[in-house]
Amino acid sequence: MKDRIVTAAIELLNELGPHKVTTNHIINALEISPGTLYYHYRNREQIILSIFQRITEDFDALFIENPASGEITGLLSMIEQIYRLYFKYRFFYLNLSMLLDRDPVLAEAYRENYRIKRKKLEKLFSSLEEQGLIRPFESSEEKDIFLQNQWLINDYWLGFQKAVGISDAEEMISKGIRGYLAFIREYLTPRGRRALDTRHNDTD
56 CB-contact burial (10 Å; exposed 0-12 / middle 13-18 / buried 19+): middle
- What number is the average pLDDT over the span 171-179? 92
Please tell me the predicted confidence (pLDDT) of residue 170: 93
How confident is the model over 82-106, as pLDDT tens digits? Answer: 999 999 999 999 999 999 999 999 9
Give the residue from 126, 121, 177, 127 showing the smallest Cα distance to 154.
Answer: 177
Please tell me the predicted confidence (pLDDT) of residue 157: 93
The answer to whether 175 touches 161, Cβ cutoff 8 Å, is: yes
Q: Which residues contact 99 (CB under 8 A, 6 or more apart)?
A: 18, 48, 92, 106
How confident is the model over 105-150, as pLDDT tens digits? Answer: 999 999 999 999 999 888 888 888 888 889 999 999 999 999 999 9
Give the residue from 25, 75, 67, 69 showing the smallest Cα distance to 47.
Answer: 25
Task: Identify the residue with better confidence: 198 or 6.
Answer: 6
Has residue 189 got a pLDDT over 60?
A: yes
Number of neighbouring beta carbons within 10 Å of residue 143? 17
The answer to whether 70 touches 128, Cβ cutoff 8 Å, is: yes
How confident is the model over 26-77, as pLDDT tens digits? Answer: 999 999 999 999 999 999 999 999 999 999 999 998 875 554 455 677 777 8
Please tell me the predicted confidence (pLDDT) of residue 50: 98
Please tell me the predicted confidence (pLDDT) of residue 201: 59
